[in-house]
Amino acid sequence: MSLLIRHARILTLATGDRPRRGPTLRELGLIEKGDVLVRDGVVAEVAPAIEAPPDTQIIEAGGRVLMPGFVDCHTHACFAGDRLAEWEMKESGMSHTKIIQNGGGIQATVRAVRDTTRKQLAAQLRTRLDAMLREGTTTVEVKSGYGLRVDDELNLLHAIQRAATDWPGTVKPTALLGHAAEGDPEEFARTVVRDVLPAVAKDFPGITVDAYCEKMGWSVEACVKLFEKARKHHPIRVHADQFSSLGMVTEALRLGARSIDHLEASTDDDLKAIADSHTYGVILPCAGFQINGRYARARKLIDAGGLLALATDFNPGTAPCSSMPFAIALAVRACRLTPAEAIAAATVNAASLLGLNDRGTIAPGQRADLLLLRHKDERSLAYEFGGNPVDLVVCGGKVVTHIEAAR
């Protein structure tokens, strides 16, 4: 059966090149009033008016905004347990460093993950994916990283794979192999390169490999050794400059990283270097909201012509938020994006970062991952916050969430 969405304010995002840089990031490819026909899971036609083929499901948009589904390109959504106790400690004035020294942080989640079966991890992730879908996220990147040891990292990656099997959207797993350390950090890093990376590569050939470069995470030197070996067969990404500028940006660019994520502490020179490269800067404002009120200076990156993507960083400790609409609202307020730039960074650019050029725009031949907002002006997506702005989700050409009756 075909699907026809009529009389919508369509944000096609199908103008210009992809991915977007600089001024083109705010080009939404607007059709003020039009129709979109979906057939066999893809967009078949976009036009001011389309005659419905026989046996077509028709949805009346009534002037509401129709746009591509959100692509959340940086999450840690596969985890167990919670970090409520340490959050309460933080709110009472304890520093993040002190919390980690007391057994909190990533290691607390590692312990919980190791006490949870693969089936349970997959079931918990599936529940989170369903919640994300209801708020318009149709493609999700999900990292491992809470296992650290060979068997536990593989268990996480297989759990991610299992949760994704019958989910309507798309899950892109990432092997976050450089996340934390047990015992001596240098020896642990050598063990990951020697043992964990080959085991992951065997079960998940070509998977993206990631690392967290920070004083409380992996050193620049350890990340470089991991990436020098991984990049022979895997794309690489890196968390850098969340709290400290340690020099990882320069090394990541030299190594050809797909993205550098966080950037809250990046220098002007580092932001300019990213802007001059083919590497994406990924901003994660939900983490700044949760931790310390510090946000990436994305305006500098955009104005310098850089590639930008926006994601939630959904994780149990530093960004317990799975809502892309809230990430958009924060990015506009705290990172100085325009609403249009935030929308493009959360759709077409995020999809391109993940290598998924079949989505992120509304054009013939594109995968039909679509959102019908309750708003008639796309700026409301950033203006309002704290609620769900999505009335309808179409994923792979099928209506998977429809709350029209609630309007």
Distance separating the N- and C-terminal Cα atoms of the chain? 26
| Cα–Cα dist 333/128, whole Å | 26
Structural contact between residues 396 and 368, judged by C-beta atoms closer than 8 angstroms: yes
The pLDDT value recorded for residue 103 is: 76
The pLDDT value recorded for residue 404 is: 53
DSSP3 helix / strand / coil % (the chain, rounded to 5): 35, 25, 40
Same domain? 254 vs 373? no
Same domain? 157 vs 295? yes
Provide the domain limits for residue 391: 2-69+360-406
Kindly report, residue by residue over 250-295, the tens digit of the pLDDT. 999 999 999 999 999 999 999 999 999 999 999 999 999 999 999 9
| Mean pLDDT (whole number) for 381-398 | 97
Question: What are the backbone dihedrals phi and psi of residue 58, each rounded to the nearest 5 degrees, phi first?
Answer: -110, 130
* Of residues 141 and 16, more confidently modeled: 141
Kindly report, residue by residue over 100-140, the tens digit of the pLDDT. 777 788 999 999 999 999 999 999 999 999 999 999 999 99
Same domain? 244 vs 271? yes
Same domain? 378 vs 321? no
Joined together, the tokens standing for residue 251 give 């090394």
The total number of structural domains that make up the chain: 2
Across the chain, what does the average pLDDT equal? 96
Same domain? 340 vs 221? yes
CATH number of the domain enclosing 13: 2.30.40.10
| Cα–Cα dist 359/363, whole Å | 9
Same domain? 246 vs 304? yes
| Cα–Cα dist 99/209, whole Å | 27
Same domain? 104 vs 198? yes
Close Cβ partners of 183 (under 8 Å, ≥ 6 residues apart): none
Question: What are the backbone dihedrals phi and psi of residue 191, each rounded to the nearest 5 degrees, phi first?
Answer: -65, -40
Identify the residue whose tokens are 């955009």.
Answer: 302
Same domain? 81 vs 159? yes
Same domain? 198 vs 346? yes
Identify the residue whose tokens are 């991915």.
Answer: 19
Residue 338's pLDDT band (cuts 50, 70, 90): very high
Structural contact between residues 370 and 69, judged by C-beta atoms closer than 8 angstroms: yes
Same domain? 265 vs 344? yes
Give yes or no for residue 403 having a pLDDT over 80.
no
What does the DSSP assignment read for 259-295?
EEEE-TT--HHHHHHHHTSSPEEEE-HHHHHHHTS--
CATH number of the domain enclosing 138: 3.20.20.140
pTM (2 d.p.): 0.97
In single-letter form, the type of residue at position 198 comes to: P
